[in-house]
Structure 1
Amino acid sequence: MNRERWWPCEFRGRSPELRLIEHELRRVADGTGSAMVVTGGAGIGKTRLLAEAQAVADRLGIRAGGVTAEPNDSAVEMSTLLSALFDGHEPLLSRDELPSAPPQPDQRFWLLRDLEAILEKAALHSPLAVCVDDAQWVDAGTAAALRELPLRLRDIPIAWIIAARPAPESSPIARTLDYLEGRDLCKVTLEPLPAEAVTDISTDILGAEPGHNIRALADKADGNPFLLVETLLGLHEEERVEITGGLADVRETRLPRRVSHKMRERIALLSPSAREAVIVAASLGRRFSFTDLAQLLDCPTSDLLAPVGELLDADLFVERDTKLAFWHDITRDAVRRSVPASARSALDRQAAGVLLERGALPVEVAHQLAGSAEPGDEVAISTLLQAARTVVATDAASAADFGRRALDLAPRQHPLRGEIVSVTAVALHAAGNSTEAVEFTDVALRDTLPVEQEAQVRLGIANMFAISADVRVATIRKALNLPGISPPMRAAHLASLAYNLLVTGRLKEARLAAPEARAALAVTGDPRASLILNVTEAGIAYAEERFAESFELFTNTAREGLAAGENSTLIRMLQMYCGEMHSHFDREDEAFTIAREGVTAAQRDRQGFTYEMYEVWQARLCLRFGRISEAAAILEGRFELEDGTRAVAALDGAGLCAMARAAMHMGDTRQLRRAAEIAKVMLEHGTPANQRHAAWMLALTSVGDSDMAAARHWLTHLDGPPVLPRFPQDVTDEMMLAGIAVATGDTTLAELALGNTRNRVLINPPSQAIEATRAYVHGLLADDQDDLRAAMDGFEQCRRPLERAMATEALGSSRLTADHETGTALLGQALTRYTDLGAAWDARRVRSRLRDLGIHRRLVVREPATHGWAAMTAAEASVARLVAEGLTNREVAEQLFLSPHTVNSHLRHVFTKLGIKSRVGLARLQQDAGASAAGRGGAGQS
């Protein structure tokens, strides 16, 4: 009995699971997004449930597209997701909408953003469902997309339905599903079928209700649908079923041969040609073409008609679209296990050759070659190397595996061995396993490459910003200890050493390393290394807070780099630091102009690293100039570092501190908790610079919890230099530091705050922000009202409204004893300013203080709205208006000079404040508001 004939029209035994999925799909039909995962072992019914889900989606007017991942997909970047979206009988999207793929290593970054925009636009026209079956085999890019896109598009009517077997915790899809599960994922776990469902399926297939013996045989399937159907089909196949009195039964409870016999015995019952075909086909994969099978068997395709027909009749093969496939993975696995391991490897190697001959990419056969090739196999060695080079930027772990396997296959004097070692060393570092990477690099490079080439590979590792700067410093020092490296190579490493010491926060060591590098470069004149050293010297000046000198050095270096044709990523970084100096010298407009231009240029040139760098800096600028909610929206969901697997750059550390401080002022306890979790990971895994960032974050989160003792603890428990000033920094940090010092009576912290601010004033040209910070710190510590008023005025002039409110609050508190009325009036002004800024935590503190002072008449300003249109910030209101008009996130972003990520953050806040769940609800509210306004206008005219 063919599988297509027994598949029952009714869906049996999974009604609760299907109802749950249908509920989610109805939400999607109503205009909101949903992410669902279906889990269970092989043969438990995931594929059938997805088919039913797609049928439900079709009834609800949701366009569904799906794909079944293949084992070889894991090596091809984004292959599974792109197939789900662009392939099939009725593709969800047109490939014409997708820009040509940009060059590595930013391909995934921009491809995800392109897909986000295309999906959003398509789903706003008609709700979509994206179904991925057998997701345990998806590639790393698809796993990343399934992690990011459902959250980015959570407010767009798209259903993401992912079916997967249990996967190892280290696999990309396992990490994705764990991540989604903590963020409103709908999880459906398939358990064994209930007894009633077993009876119903038996009745469907047998044509009558099962009798006692058939029930006993069915029970042996343990509720697994695949094994149950195999049992029932086997009984039909052997013509043992008898229907009497409306009951279908068998005379004896012996399992049918197709279930009781091992696959080897089942295969033995086939004709010789069918037996050979099914064994060979198992090495081609789950799905394969008739032509590939004929080529591997080295026979005309016409000779396969009879054996393939026999295998279709035996339910070993099925036809899917234009290809043949095994009925189930269980079937294919059983066929493979029926063949000795040595024969299986030989067939796999032969199959890989066939696939390569017909044009398969190296990454598509890499896993197969890795498991089947013998030492000295030239095709396997070169193919695995090509595959490693292809995926090193997007799936470093797989690249490392391919490289190591190629190294195992390559003889000791093989001409490609050096390149294999180089690629593998880089891949291991990029994969984040520093200990393993260092061990491999130290042994393999020394055994394989000449000294100069080893130094070159180590220089490449030293330039990998995605790995810890401490690891980069260590690899540079090993290169410098190599005997006989050339002067240009030594100079390049010395310049890189000074730079990496700086970004780790080892300022003293960087300062000592720079002169030696400069002397070496005077001899070699390497322009690239000279540029790196110029950046380092400018950075040292910045870290020492000599801002005017640093500004000049950064400006000159950028000019020299442009003249030399240096890559724009480095130039953009230099320009960003120039913008930093503009902000320190009260030039807000110039700083924001550089930030906007940087984001726009990075987007135009498709530079992912630069784009994210400028976005994080833009958030820091927003916070610096009082746009707290905008800063929080940009940074929301930006950093995912809780597991400690990702290296944190200095700019990331500064962005995380901004995220923590914005959360503190806004009273966002959830984000404060998250910031504390990230900070603790940074404290354990970070460089000295990031440990200081982490300590500052933990101090801020403690202040947000009103635990000043804990804040003091985090600021004083690190060895080495004090937490402030940070790198990169904010010149007003010491205001928070002084507040902690006063609250805890810590004179050491007080002296640090005062000393930093005084030194900053002395070594820099006049700056309102720098001088006002010094005045505030001294005024707070010495209870000097003149200084506090000067701070108020200074912050007003340099447009730092949050700091202006802090100074007003401090002055008000100081004046209370001598002039109660003036003091309370100043506190009332501070309350108004905090409320206007959205600094809810500060506003609550001042409001409570005023209550304690007996000020009850509306407490100077009314309580801020927390729900409805009145609760929205200006940015949220602008986003809400444009979205209600039907614009996509990308279109809104272009109009408001924001990123789609920031628009998405604002939109989630809009939905929360309005108590809605979708854009449909927003459009209705906007229409109702317009109708109400029109009605009021008409009533006024009458």
Structure 2
Amino acid sequence: MEGSADRHAGGLRADTPLIGRRTALRVLDGALDSAAGGSFRFLALSGDPGAGKTRLLGELADAAAARKHPVLAGRAAEFEQQMPFGALVDALDDQLEERRPALNPATARLLSTVFPALTGLAADPYGDAEAPAPQLAPDADAGAADAEGGPGPLGIARYQLHRAIRHLLEELASDNGLVLVLDDVHWADDASIELLGYLVRHPPRARVLIGVAYRPAQASPHLATLVDIAGEHGVSVSADPFTPAEVEEFLGPGVTRARCQALYEASGGNPFYLEALARKEGAAEPSRAEETGAERWGALPDLGEITELPPAVRTALRVELSGLDETSLLVARAAAVAADEFEPALAAAGAQLPETEALAALDDLVARDVVRPAAAGRFRFRHPLVRHVVYGSAAAGWRLAAHARIARHLAGLGAPATLRAHHVERSAGFGDREAIATLVEAARTVAPQAPATAAHWLEAALRLMPEAGPGDEDGPFPRVRLLVELAHAQTVSGRLVEGRETTRTLLRLLPPDDHARRARAVQMCAVIERQLDRHQEARALVLDELHRIPDPQAPAAVLLRVRLVADRLMRVDIRGAQAVLDRMPENAPDWQPGLRVAVASLRVLPAYAAGRVADAVAYAEAAERVFAAAPDSHIAEALDTVPWLCWTEIMMGRYDDALRRIERSIAIARATGQTSYITYLLNAQARAYTLLGRLDEASDAAEEATETARLLRSGEGLVFGLTQQCLVASWSGDHDRALRLGEEAVGGDLGAGEWWGAMARYARGVALINAGRPDEGAVAVLEACGDPAAPQLDPSTLLTCAEMLAYVESCREKGGDPGRWAEIADMLGGLGLPADAGLVRLARAHAVRPSDPAAAAALATEAGALLAGAGRRIEAGRAELTAGLAHHAAGDRDRARERLRAAVALFDACGARALSAQTVREQRRLGVRVASPRRGGRGEAPFGLSPREHEIATLVAQGCTNQQVAEKLFLSVRTVETHLSRVFGKLGVSSRVGVATALNARAAGRDS
């Protein structure tokens, strides 16, 4: 805090010397040094109100500017806490306006949903305010245009936006680094805190320092733990009160030591409080007339109620406010109502004054240092506490009217509903249909990026609405539909308990005989209950409603049975699932179109898991026909069941069908806002990519699934995502990370008795085996399999377990029994699927390798061919490695070299680094000279490429154009061209073909 000295616009820099803070300044300098050295840093500065956090952020900004680092600064505001990404917009919007022409179009479309500077880049970026919204009884045509014509307003996933902002920060930091300073983050909306959480978990790959300041007593748990989440990238510092000696230095030599001590005791060493008291010391006591004027305007009676300021500080601020004339105080109050950073016209509208009078009053307020000039002709209060005091000093009725005046003024200017909603919420009366319309429009606009804010505004709209009555459903804002939207917004923002209560309210509102909509509401509530890990409650809810439906074959009853089938499949209760399916026809004339899709999706897995492969194939082909004929709007109604079909197709080796269906379903889920199902689809996609050896793509899908689950705060979804991330990291060779992910997946002890919980334990076991801890891994894998009479894993994963356990047993020096697991694999793999046949032969190869290496080599070679033909490249590589080792043991060195060379090629193509390194070691034992990979400075990029350059070079080698590379990496085409020119120089090539040749030659692992 800089005392009474003026500050530069924006309030971050000060002209006066800083008092104390030596420890804090050392931490700030250390963070800047680390960022300048190329390491991302997240700096959390905490302190009580008025403790001097803003001044310390100013010192950080000055130090960064002295090092030639660009500094961007923003601030959240107390009375605009529902504005999505408010602090980020404050910091970045002007930069985006300058960079607008160079932005990649895809990135610009994403960012335009948040940043005003980019509005208009995408045609109608938010779509119609009336659609699409979740519905209880979806019309067959509702939302079809959005779902089939590309992502609509709900198609912009928060995760995608987070990635786009991370890439934007990397772009801004590409030349001289970047320091992003965000003040008063305790007032930031949930969407901003979610974004910060993403950035500390996935740091920008550039010289970026993000510094945030907040009050610890008002910080959300998520905000308070960001430094811990950041790990080695995080650093924290606190703004502590002044010591008595620092108070004396702050006040200067003109104040006696006794008075300094008294002011220290009154302020507690808080710089803002001290400044307020010092201002009072330098001011004349108000006259009786001034006090009377202050009382008339409400400054004195209300001040003690609006903040927990110490009495002496309250008195000091009373003196400061009472010194204003009536017009200046009126404008100050209107400005406090208007915005954190306000334009004079807005303050004039709130005060009901001509703008010329408001400007004259602002001159007085600036002269008295109540407000200070900001950027572009706007103003800000000198400190948020001053605004807080001024706002609270106004009478409640006057504030209500001022908010209404400002809302009307903004409406007259054509301001979007998102800017008006804050004022409408605080001024609208019960039954005000125009206010309801504004709040609903604002909620639907921000729902994709800030669902917590959308929920807040929908709640406000519902509070203004009369109870449902005749004709309510025919009005523009039927209560039932808004409750559905509210439950959806609450759920996708992670407020699952609130979403559950909203759906239960919805059930109480719906008539008992409205079976169709009640079934939809129960389905929604049951999904939320599962997200809360309340599986028994979800089943009980469905069964209770099912018993209320008189016709067991009615569409509503079938819909609820679909939910029961999915529940039984999750518990690996195959017989129970089949029993429910047997009571359902495949189709009926009165079914909603989505119901047929749902039933077709669920029929495949029970047949496959029961060993009826021919039936499973027939059901899968029938489901394919249903999907091919169905428009997206029909599939949108059945997205809770589609992941089961996709997962089953993956288990059966129908990867192309599964991936095609997953991509279509993800697009539909995004277009219709059904975020909770995206996690299951993305995890299925990650699983397919992992099995196919497309580990980079698997990593992206699993990361997005995990981040989406974190946003939803879904324990089940998070475990699913961590499981796939663990498997990808393990096969990629990042064993430490795989083990961390595996421990996190099983750490909450979620999913007991259910398939997804067993999959987490299986993934941890695989990670342990691949990390060189086979005994522990074997125990974990066995635990995941469960009781042989009631296995917890699907047949495909059980077969994989048997093959891996045969491998572990074959590696034991004595006492191993790989033959037992080979027999189990033979029993599990009798379904006739190509990949299964390959795994069975590989398990047999493990079993006979110790006693008959030649036979093992033949079996493993045969297994490699089968697995490669099925697309399972990593397992095909493992089979080739096994064959090479067996040939070596049998004395056939030439064939051993041949098989090992084939294994290296497969592992390198997949990115399975540890397996590739293991195979190279075996090659060297055979006398094969293998060149060591060239490494760049930091990290593992070859040819001296930076991580970004290697990323771009890899995409170019895959045949992507510069435009396609830009869209994939959220860069501008110009940036891609700049990086590519550096790639040419480092690789010594002059064309894109040369880049592909260089990278492919390295990937092939050629002998030197």
Q: Normalization by structure 1: what TM-score?
A: 0.75
Q: Is the 8 A contact 1:708 1:743 kept in 2?
A: no
1:189 is aligned to 2:238 = yes
The Cα of 1:290 is off from its aligned counterpart by 2.8
Partner of 1:676: 743
Partner of 1:46: 53
Q: Deviations over 1:870-893 (max 9, x none)?
A: 9998xx548947944895998788
Where structure 1 has 5 or more consecutive residues not aligned to the other structure, the ranges are 241-254, 905-918, 931-942
Q: Is the 8 A contact 2:842 2:863 kept in 1?
A: no
User: What is the 5 A alignment of 1:4-83?
Assistant: 4=6, 7-14=14-21, 16-25=23-32, 28=35, 33-71=40-78, 73-83=80-90
Q: Deviations over 1:794-821 (max 9, x none)?
A: 23213356546655787899999xx886
Q: Is the 8 A contact 1:67 1:83 kept in 2?
A: yes
Structure 2 residue matching 1:35: 3-state secondary structure? strand
Structure 2 residue matching 1:132: 3-state secondary structure? strand
Task: Give the counterpart letter for 2:233 in structure 1.
Answer: D
- Once residues 869 and 305 of structure 1 are traced to their aligned partners in structure 2, the CA distance between those partners, rounded to angstroms, is 60
Task: Give the counterpart letter for 2:487 in structure 1.
Answer: A
Q: 2:371 aligns with which of 295, 311, 317?
A: 317
Structure 1 residue matching 2:240: 3-state secondary structure? coil
Partner of 1:286: 340
1:734 is aligned to 2:802 = yes
The Cα of 1:458 is off from its aligned counterpart by 3.7
- Once residues 473 and 393 of structure 1 are traced to their aligned partners in structure 2, the CA distance between those partners, rounded to angstroms, is 30
1:529 is aligned to 2:598 = no
Task: Give the counterpart letter for 1:736 in structure 2.
Answer: M
Partner of 1:454: 518
Partner of 1:913: none
Task: Report the CA distance shift for 1:727/1:680 in structure 2 as closer, same or farther (over 3 A).
Answer: farther
Task: Give the counterpart letter for 2:579 in structure 1.
Answer: L
The Cα of 1:162 is off from its aligned counterpart by 2.3
Task: Give the counterpart letter for 1:215 in structure 2.
Answer: C
Q: Is the 8 A contact 1:421 1:444 kept in 2?
A: yes
The Cα of 1:735 is off from its aligned counterpart by 0.9
1:112 is aligned to 2:157 = no
- Once residues 308 and 345 of structure 1 are traced to their aligned partners in structure 2, the CA distance between those partners, rounded to angstroms, is 22
Q: Deviations over 1:623-670 (max 9, x none)?
A: 435576886687568635998964367897387246337427736124
The Cα of 1:712 is off from its aligned counterpart by 2.7
The Cα of 1:69 is off from its aligned counterpart by 1.8
Structure 1 residue matching 2:212: 3-state secondary structure? strand
Partner of 1:202: 251
* 414-423 or 350-359: bigger deviation: 350-359
Task: Report the CA distance shift for 1:92/1:583 in structure 2 as closer, same or farther (over 3 A).
Answer: same
- Once residues 83 and 870 of structure 1 are traced to their aligned partners in structure 2, the CA distance between those partners, rounded to angstroms, is 37
Task: Give the counterpart letter for 2:178 in structure 1.
Answer: L
Q: 1:775 aligns with which of 811, 825, 841?
A: 841
Partner of 2:382: 327
- Once residues 19 and 273 of structure 1 are traced to their aligned partners in structure 2, the CA distance between those partners, rounded to angstroms, is 46
Task: Give the counterpart letter for 2:315 in structure 1.
Answer: H
- Once residues 340 and 651 of structure 1 are traced to their aligned partners in structure 2, the CA distance between those partners, rounded to angstroms, is 48
- Once residues 496 and 574 of structure 2 are traced to their aligned partners in structure 1, the CA distance between those partners, rounded to angstroms, is 24
Q: 1:419 aligns with which of 481, 487, 504?
A: 481
1:689 is aligned to 2:755 = yes
Q: 1:510 aligns with which of 563, 577, 588?
A: 577
Q: 1:430 aligns with which of 473, 483, 492?
A: 492
Q: Deviations over 1:668-709 (max 9, x none)?
A: 12431232112233x425781211212212333444462636
1:480 is aligned to 2:549 = no
- Once residues 82 and 315 of structure 2 are traced to their aligned partners in structure 1, the CA distance between those partners, rounded to angstroms, is 35
The Cα of 1:178 is off from its aligned counterpart by 4.5
Size of the aligned set, in residue pairs, is: 881
The Cα of 1:219 is off from its aligned counterpart by 2.6
Where structure 2 has 5 or more consecutive residues not aligned to the other structure, the ranges are 9-13, 110-121, 126-150, 287-308, 473-477, 971-978, 991-1008
User: What is the 5 A alignment of 1:816-827?
Assistant: none
User: What is the 5 A alignment of 1:386-405?
Assistant: 386-405=441-460
User: What is the 5 A alignment of 1:126-141?
Assistant: 126-141=176-191
- Once residues 160 and 670 of structure 2 are traced to their aligned partners in structure 1, the CA distance between those partners, rounded to angstroms, is 11
- Once residues 951 and 822 of structure 2 are traced to their aligned partners in structure 1, the CA distance between those partners, rounded to angstroms, is 50
- Once residues 840 and 361 of structure 1 are traced to their aligned partners in structure 2, the CA distance between those partners, rounded to angstroms, is 52
Partner of 1:666: 733
Q: Is the 8 A contact 1:772 1:795 kept in 2?
A: yes
CA RMSD of aligned residues (A): 5.7
The Cα of 1:534 is off from its aligned counterpart by 1.2
Q: Deviations over 1:44-81 (max 9, x none)?
A: 22223333333333333333322222245543433432
Q: Is the 8 A contact 2:570 2:755 kept in 1?
A: yes
Task: Report the CA distance shift for 1:21/1:114 in structure 2 as closer, same or farther (over 3 A).
Answer: same
User: What is the 5 A alignment of 1:163-242?
Assistant: 163-166=213-216, 170=220, 173-174=223-224, 176-180=226-230, 182-193=231-242, 198-203=247-252, 210-213=255-258, 215-220=260-265, 221-238=267-284
1:300 is aligned to 2:300 = no
1:160 is aligned to 2:162 = no
Q: Is the 8 A contact 1:421 1:448 kept in 2?
A: no
- Once residues 292 and 366 of structure 1 are traced to their aligned partners in structure 2, the CA distance between those partners, rounded to angstroms, is 15
- Once residues 705 and 677 of structure 1 are traced to their aligned partners in structure 2, the CA distance between those partners, rounded to angstroms, is 19
The Cα of 1:41 is off from its aligned counterpart by 2.3
1:103 is aligned to 2:152 = yes
Structure 1 residue matching 2:750: 3-state secondary structure? helix
Task: Report the CA distance shift for 1:449/1:270 in structure 2 as closer, same or farther (over 3 A).
Answer: farther
* 329-338 or 371-380: bigger deviation: 371-380
- Once residues 790 and 238 of structure 1 are traced to their aligned partners in structure 2, the CA distance between those partners, rounded to angstroms, is 100
Q: Is the 8 A contact 1:742 1:781 kept in 2?
A: yes
Q: Is the 8 A contact 1:135 1:164 kept in 2?
A: yes
Partner of 2:93: 86
Q: Is the 8 A contact 2:492 2:711 kept in 1?
A: no
Task: Give the counterpart letter for 1:47 in structure 2.
Answer: T
- Once residues 886 and 564 of structure 1 are traced to their aligned partners in structure 2, the CA distance between those partners, rounded to angstroms, is 38
Q: Is the 8 A contact 1:36 1:160 kept in 2?
A: yes
Q: Deviations over 1:216-261 (max 9, x none)?
A: 3553434433223323333333499xxxxxxxxxxxxxx9999461
Q: 1:564 aligns with which of 630, 653, 670?
A: 630
Q: Deviations over 1:850-879 (max 9, x none)?
A: 9xxxx9x96877999699469998xx5489
Task: Give the counterpart letter for 1:139 in structure 2.
Answer: D
Q: Normalization by structure 2: what TM-score?
A: 0.71
Partner of 1:758: 827
Structure 1 residue matching 2:632: 3-state secondary structure? coil
- Once residues 285 and 721 of structure 1 are traced to their aligned partners in structure 2, the CA distance between those partners, rounded to angstroms, is 66
Q: Is the 8 A contact 1:672 1:701 kept in 2?
A: yes
Task: Report the CA distance shift for 1:341/1:751 in structure 2 as closer, same or farther (over 3 A).
Answer: farther
- Once residues 303 and 167 of structure 1 are traced to their aligned partners in structure 2, the CA distance between those partners, rounded to angstroms, is 40
The Cα of 1:390 is off from its aligned counterpart by 4.3
Task: Report the CA distance shift for 1:657/1:46 in structure 2 as closer, same or farther (over 3 A).
Answer: same
Task: Give the counterpart letter for 1:684 in structure 2.
Answer: L
- Once residues 871 and 30 of structure 1 are traced to their aligned partners in structure 2, the CA distance between those partners, rounded to angstroms, is 12
- Once residues 562 and 739 of structure 1 are traced to their aligned partners in structure 2, the CA distance between those partners, rounded to angstroms, is 42
User: What is the 5 A alignment of 1:636-715?
Assistant: 639=706, 646-647=713-714, 653=720, 656-657=723-724, 659-660=726-727, 662-663=729-730, 666=733, 668-681=735-748, 683-685=749-751, 688-703=754-769, 704=771, 706=773, 708=775, 711-712=778-779, 715=782
Task: Report the CA distance shift for 1:86/1:410 in structure 2 as closer, same or farther (over 3 A).
Answer: closer
Structure 2 residue matching 1:191: 3-state secondary structure? coil
- Once residues 901 and 757 of structure 1 are traced to their aligned partners in structure 2, the CA distance between those partners, rounded to angstroms, is 47
Structure 1 residue matching 2:174: 3-state secondary structure? helix
Q: Is the 8 A contact 1:63 1:92 kept in 2?
A: no
The Cα of 1:530 is off from its aligned counterpart by 0.6
The Cα of 1:328 is off from its aligned counterpart by 1.4
